[in-house]
């Protein structure tokens, strides 16, 4: 097996303790509205060339002196070993639209190793990607990253923890992409698998236990499996990996509505847990939520450093990619004279985005870390108006439409592949 190589793409804005969002902003952070749709179909034709305000000619990664040759070699070896990508972020990533597009493109151009990490988001009371489902008849206590600690239990590296209320419990897992292995990520007491059924038919399985992980090997590719489990003591379950092959490209995504850098920094053992996925490339898309609070440049810079240092400590071969945020908008708030009630008026450009971009560019330059300037590539200053006019930004003017996420996914994928091709 090749040594794990990590690229962190930080899609950033600032630190959580400097954020004060309320009213409409708070609701948008925790419960964004998305244009729900099926997963993306892969085509050789790119959608972004039709938008002349997108700086497609500048769709590249500035290396800032970073050496990407080892990362390129890792991807070149995809037919003999698994090349794993982990994309960490906020609501943009939780919805899995842009990341789903990138996952499909990697699967088309290379070999897909499986769906990858799936998280019981719906069980925790929030939105879940459309290409899988995790349901259960059991009862759970749940923690979510933005509400942590709600029930006093630990928070997993996925930003979600579901704790069964009884020692016997079950999960039904369905996915569009077939899988032959399920890895269960958890902590707490010992956990055992009593039965596995495929479409209600019991099947033989092989079980392997690791540190905070169970690996369930299935006798054939499956798309609809029910796991009956029991535990000795309380357990907290963070997510499942769906694996289809031992070679190819595996594209994991961890996204949490409202997440900031400091939210992830507050997860105990986050960097160590991430290393358990054996990632070769990590893309971290954070920051929209920091930009809706009082953004402090120094706090943001330190928050990026804390995150990067934690991941590097447990992933010493890490190569880091910082990604700046694109411009978005927010509703202006005000109070009428003599009233304590906050009201909201017209939308305007969120000026904090440009400030955050400058901090990210500065961090990359000073630390010899590569930067993907998504702010500039998406069109720069005043580009959000053009994204809205072309149906690429949604009603909240922060999240993208399906078409917008497709454009974003295609651009990032092409920039990554072009950079890796030139690094060989």
Better pLDDT: 3 or 298: 298
Structure tokens belonging to residue 238: 């963070």
Share of the chain above pLDDT 90, in %: 67
Widest distance between CA atoms in the chain: 70
Share of the chain above pLDDT 70, in %: 88
pLDDT band at 222 (very low <50, low <70, confident <90, very high): very high
Distance CA 278, CA 219 (A): 24
Supply the pTM of this predicted model. Answer: 0.90
Q: Are strands 318-323 and 6-11 parallel, antiparallel or unpaired?
A: parallel
Contact 196, 227 (CB under 8 A): yes
Distance CA 3, CA 314 (A): 13
* pLDDT above 50: residue 20: no
Distance CA 229, CA 227 (A): 6
Contact 269, 157 (CB under 8 A): yes
C-alpha distances (whole Å) from 205 to each of 136, 195, 198, 217 are 20, 9, 11, 6
Contact 7, 70 (CB under 8 A): no
pLDDT tens digit sequence for 282-329: 888 887 888 888 899 999 999 999 999 998 899 888 788 888 889 999
Question: Please, is 44 exposed, middle or buried when counting C-beta atoms within 10 Å of its C-beta (0-12, 13-18, 19+)?
Answer: exposed
């Amino acid at each position: 097996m090749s040594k794990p190589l990590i690229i962190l793409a930080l899609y950033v804005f600032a630190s959580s303790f400097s954020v004060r969002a309320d009213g409409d902003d708070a609701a948008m952070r925790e419960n964004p509205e998305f244009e729900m749709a099926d997963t993306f179909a892969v085509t050789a034709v790119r959608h972004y060339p039709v938008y002349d305000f997108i700086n497609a000619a500048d769709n590249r990664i500035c290396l800032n002196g970073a050496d990407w040759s080892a990362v390129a070699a890792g991807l070149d070896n995809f037919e003999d070993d698994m090349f794993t990508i982990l994309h960490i972020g906020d609501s943009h990533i939780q919805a899995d639209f842009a990341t789903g597009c990138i996952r499909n493109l990697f699967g088309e151009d290379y070999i897909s190793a499986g769906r990858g990490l799936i998280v019981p988001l719906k069980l925790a009371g929030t939105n879940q990607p459309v290409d899988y489902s995790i349901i259960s008849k059991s009862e759970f206590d749940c923690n979510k990253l933005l509400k942590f600690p709600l029930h006093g239990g630990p928070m997993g590296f996925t930003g979600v923890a579901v704790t069964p209320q009884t020692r016997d419990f079950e999960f039904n897992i369905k996915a569009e992409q077939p899988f032959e292995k399920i890895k269960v990520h958890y902590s707490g007491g010992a956990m055992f698998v009593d039965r596995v059924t495929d479409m209600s038919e019991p099947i033989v399985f092989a079980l392997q236990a690791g540190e905070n992980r169970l690996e369930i090997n299935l006798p054939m590719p499956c798309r609809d499996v029910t796991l009956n489990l029991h535990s000795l003591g309380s357990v907290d379950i963070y997510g499942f990996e769906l694996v289809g092959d031992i070679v190819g490209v595996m594209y994991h995504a961890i996204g949490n509505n409202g997440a900031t850098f400091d939210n992830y920094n507050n997860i105990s053992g986050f960097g160590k847990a991430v290393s358990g996925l054996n990632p070769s490339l990590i893309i971290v898309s954070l920051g929209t939520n920091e930009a809706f609070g009082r953004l402090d440049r120094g706090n943001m810079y330190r928050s990026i450093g804390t995150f990067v240092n934690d991941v590097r400590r447990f992933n010493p071969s890490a190569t880091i990619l910082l990604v700046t945020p694109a411009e978005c908008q927010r509703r202006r708030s005000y109070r009428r004279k003599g009233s304590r009630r906050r009201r909201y008026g017209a939308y305007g450009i969120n000026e904090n985005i440009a400030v955050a971009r400058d901090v990210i560019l500065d961090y990359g330059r000073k630390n010899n870390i590569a930067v993907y300037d998504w702010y500039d590539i998406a069109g720069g200053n005043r580009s959000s108006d053009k994204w809205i006019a072309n149906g690429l930004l949604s009603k909240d003017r922060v999240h993208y439409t399906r078409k917008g996420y497709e454009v974003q996914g295609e651009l990032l994928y092409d920039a990554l592949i072009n950079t890796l091709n030139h690094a060989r």
